[in-house]
Structure 1
Amino acid sequence: MSAAAEPGARARAVGIVLVSHSAEVARSVAELARGLAAGGAVAPVAPAGGGPDGGLGTNAEEILTAVAAVDRGAGVALLADLGSSVLTVKALLEDGDLPAGCRLVDAPFLEGAVAAMVAASAGADLEAVAAAAGEAYAYRKA
């Protein structure tokens, strides 16, 4: 389901874009985060994964399309998995290709995505969404 057509999506919620080297990973993490944040209105989330040829890699055009799909005017949090995904988002921000209110969030990809979705779905602003995602670094499993 596309982020633009999500039933119950908050009108002015912070949007979330998940940038991965793998289209399947980006879609799966978006699906998991959406499912774990469910229970009411869910913030818009879009995956942006894989290279232009459909293989592994990063695609700037897909990131721009994903941002446009989730931008509701409250800002967009971008979470990237590693390496060139991070560099591509940074380049888009530095070049002014992303709309105002877009922010690369320093957070673990999976746990950060879930925390960001929960916060955004609860109506948090971009700063609080970024903080919630970043706090996922402190999650301990043992």
Structure 2
Amino acid sequence: MSDGKQVGIVLVSHSAQVARSVAELAKALAGGGASVPVAAAGGTEDGGIGTSAELISAAAASVDRGAGVAVLTDLGSAVLTVKTLLAEGDELPDGTRLVDAPFVEGAVAAVVTAAAGADLAAVEAAATEAYAYRKV
């Protein structure tokens, strides 16, 4: 984007290790993706399995570059936590969207698309289209 704004990506998993690993994989497959703001928000504050509204909010704030934030989640309560934060209205940056996409494939598509300078709608569309990736 020529205005310096860029879509940020937050990956929310019940496991900190899974969130970090998917972020690392997506950035690597995007050619290093060093310019793409990607944050992992996995697990709980004490390192346990679960989700944390505080970790998600902090991750979203850390990747906000003014063009919106795409949030991808792994399972049930991660989705519910993000939906609750969005409903509260002031916990996440303006322009934050929960993206309905497969976690790994969607993350890769989102980061690759964001790295190309696409807007939030295009990043969301690319991640969502990952549902159509066939393996056989």
Moved segments of 4+, more than 4 Å: none
Instruction: State how many pairs are aligned.
Output: 133
2:75 equivalent to 1:82:
yes
Greater strand percent: which structure? 2
Identity %: 72
Cα RMSD of the aligned pairs, angstroms, is 1.4
Task: Tell me, yes or no, if the aligned pair for 2:69 and 2:95 is still in contact at 8 Å.
Answer: yes
Counterpart residue identity of residue 127, structure 1: A
What TM-score do the two structures reach when normalised by structure 1? 0.90
**Superposition pairs of residues 114-129 of structure 1, within 5 angstroms:** 114-129=108-123
Task: Tell me, yes or no, if the aligned pair for 2:27 and 2:33 is still in contact at 8 Å.
Answer: no
Counterpart residue identity of residue 121, structure 1: A
What TM-score do the two structures reach when normalised by structure 2? 0.94
Query: What is the distance in 2 between the residues matched to 1:68 and 1:38?
Result: 24
Counterpart residue identity of residue 8, structure 2: G
Note the residue ranges of structure 1 that are not aligned, 5 or more in a row: 1-9
Query: What is the distance in 1 between the residues matched to 2:33 and 2:41?
Result: 24
Query: What is the distance in 2 between the residues matched to 1:88 and 1:40?
Result: 27
Query: What is the distance in 2 between the residues matched to 1:106 and 1:28?
Result: 20
Task: Tell me, yes or no, if the aligned pair for 1:42 and 1:117 is still in contact at 8 Å.
Answer: no
SS at match of 1:74: strand
Note the residue ranges of structure 2 that are not aligned, 5 or more in a row: none
- Residue-by-residue CA offset, 1:21-79 (whole Å, 9 max, x unaligned): 00000000000001011267631100000023211000110001101110000000000
